[in-house]
Amino acid sequence: MVQEILCYKYDMNNNLHNHRILLIISGGIAAYKSLDLIRRLREQGAAVRCVLTKGGEQFVTPLSVSALSEDKVYGDLWSLTDEAQMGHIRLSREADLVLVAPASANMIGKMAQGLADDLASTVLLATNKPVMIAPAMNVMMWQHAAVQANIKTLQQRGVHVLMPTSGVMACGEEGEGRMQEVADIIKAVTAHFAVPGPLSGLRALVTSGPTFEPIDPVRFIGNRSSGKQGHAIAAALQQQGAETILVTGPTVLPKPQGLKVIEVQTAREMLMACEAALPADIAVCAAAVGDFRVADIALQKIKKGAVPPTLELTENPDILAALTKAGNRRPRLVIGFAAETENLLQNANAKLLKKNCDWLVANEVGEGKGFDQGENTVTLLKRDGVGKTASTAWPQQSKDAIARQLVDEIAKAFTD
Ligand code: C5P
């Protein structure tokens, strides 16, 4: 017998899903960070196409840029092949964002003056897309009046400048001029594409789907939850502007686009993933978490014997209750679900109080109701400050419609 190995798969793949970024790498030692930037942007689901200037080529090779972006690298304005296959106009049009990282003093100067003497500067002049730049240069260069004037000009024209940070530079001098860290550039790019909405600026955590608690390498204890309701809520939260993290047990559903998805198998993995996702402003626990797991998971497939095996079960952590007990990390609004087969309101109310959540979505499950159905009939229970509960029964509707209605209620709670 072995202890269960806790692991969960982080899938950050969706934050920049479907977004096309044209990354211009100009000359500067910070260009080495651009290689990591390409990887991280692609991890978030972005399609990255790169233009490497002659200066940039001195610091990173076209081969590594091409390998990481899994695309051709563009560099030569006059190359007939480039122009035939992908002219500079198309390069600038087929992007949702043009990102210059690092942006050298020379590149910034050319942009400010409207010069177009190579592919990168020509693309930047020809583009009708938003432009973001991450300057990187020596502190004296950065502080030079000419560079500062150019930066001001670019900002006035709507270019988003990711201001360089302070620190020791590759040249040994210290001060402002270091390119922002890759993680911060990713944050800025993600914020650029964030959907504006009533929940903008808020973080939401949603659990969804069943958990699978292993018995042996091939068997598990699971349940019939499809994840439809939780996934629909996560998508609706994201559509209303919340930065949303979906922690999901095994489902066959496609991943909702534009949000972080963390895939887990067991209740304990789900708890770990939820705790790691904090802080959050909103938590919606729609997952059907297994209450019990097998105490000792068999290392090998359990064989048939004269007597059927007995499984010793042990209790799983309660994720919803753990979130409400998270002290100052407790999300401001915690919403639980209660699937009941009888005495819906009475049981749901008891659960709301016991788990100390703010709202509870109660629904009847059983034959043809709830689990794995496209539609649901729910009652929303809300607890007020003095422990009183108000309930509203919603008409039967699709799980997508329930998700939208719930998220509208959430938006009202945060804007009231
Ligand atoms: O107690 P019961 O399982 O009916 O409670 C349902 C609610 O509690 C749901 O919101 C569910 O996601 C959550 N829950 C949990 N962790 C558990 C069991 C339930 O988060 N171990």
Specify whether 280 is located in the same domain as 402. Answer: yes
Ligand 1: centre distance to CA 377 (Å): 18
Ligand 1: centre distance to CA 327 (Å): 19
Number of domains in the chain: 2
Specify whether 123 is located in the same domain as 272. Answer: no
Residue 179, C-beta contacts closer than 8 angstroms, at least 6 positions apart: 28, 30, 33, 101, 102, 134, 135, 136, 164, 165, 185
Specify whether 120 is located in the same domain as 33. Answer: yes
Specify whether 115 is located in the same domain as 143. Answer: yes
Specify whether 364 is located in the same domain as 338. Answer: yes
CA distance 324 to 361: 16
Ligand 1: centre distance to CA 339 (Å): 9
CA distance 236 to 408: 9
In this predicted structure, what is the pLDDT of residue 2? 39
For residue 316, the ligand 1 atom closest to its alpha carbon is 21
Summarize pLDDT for 275-284 with one digit per residue, the tens.
999 999 999 9
**Residue at 1 is within a domain:** no
Mutation probe of ligand 1 site: the residue of 270, 355, 358, 406 with most atoms within 8 A of C-beta: 355
**Residue at 6 is within a domain:** no
Specify whether 260 is located in the same domain as 378. Answer: yes
In this predicted structure, what is the pLDDT of residue 82? 56
**Residue at 10 is within a domain:** no
Q: Is the CB of 285 under 6 A from ligand 1?
A: yes
Mutation probe of ligand 1 site: the residue of 337, 344, 345 with most atoms within 8 A of C-beta: 337
Mutation probe of ligand 1 site: the residue of 207, 233, 289 with most atoms within 8 A of C-beta: 289
Ligand 1: centre distance to CA 318 (Å): 6
| Bond prior to 279 in cis (omega within 30° of 0) | yes
Q: Which domain holds residue 222?
A: 203-415
Ligand 1: centre distance to CA 252 (Å): 21
Residue with CA closest to ligand 1 atom 7:
337
In this predicted structure, what is the pLDDT of residue 367? 63
**Residue at 3 is within a domain:** no
In this predicted structure, what is the pLDDT of residue 84? 60
Q: Is the CB of 289 under 6 A from ligand 1?
A: yes
Selecting among 7, 50, 171, 357, the annotated active-site residue is: 171
Out of 163, 193, 223, a domain closes at 193
**Residue at 108 is within a domain:** yes
Specify whether 223 is located in the same domain as 102. Answer: no
Is 285 one of the annotated active-site residues of the chain?
A: no
In this predicted structure, what is the pLDDT of residue 11? 43
**Residue at 395 is within a domain:** yes
Out of 143, 172, 193, a domain closes at 193
Specify whether 217 is located in the same domain as 111. Answer: no
CATH of the domain at 117: 3.40.50.1950
**Residue at 130 is within a domain:** yes
Specify whether 171 is located in the same domain as 211. Answer: no
Specify whether 209 is located in the same domain as 62. Answer: no
Specify whether 210 is located in the same domain as 183. Answer: no
**Residue at 284 is within a domain:** yes
Q: Is the CB of 293 under 6 A from ligand 1?
A: no
In this predicted structure, what is the pLDDT of residue 7? 46
CATH of the domain at 391: 3.40.50.10300
Specify whether 276 is located in the same domain as 334. Answer: yes
Out of 169, 193, 217, a domain closes at 193
In this predicted structure, what is the pLDDT of residue 373? 65
In this predicted structure, what is the pLDDT of residue 399? 93
Q: Could you list the pLDDT tens digit for every one of the 416 residues in the chain?
A: 334 445 444 444 467 877 999 999 999 999 999 999 999 999 988 999 999 999 999 999 999 999 999 999 998 877 755 556 567 788 888 899 999 999 999 999 999 999 999 999 999 999 999 999 999 999 999 999 999 999 999 999 999 999 999 988 777 888 899 999 999 999 899 889 887 899 998 999 999 999 999 999 999 999 989 999 999 999 999 999 998 999 999 999 998 877 889 999 999 999 999 999 999 999 999 999 999 999 999 999 999 888 889 999 999 999 999 999 999 999 999 999 998 888 999 999 999 999 999 999 998 877 666 566 678 899 999 998 777 889 999 999 999 999 999 999 999 999 87
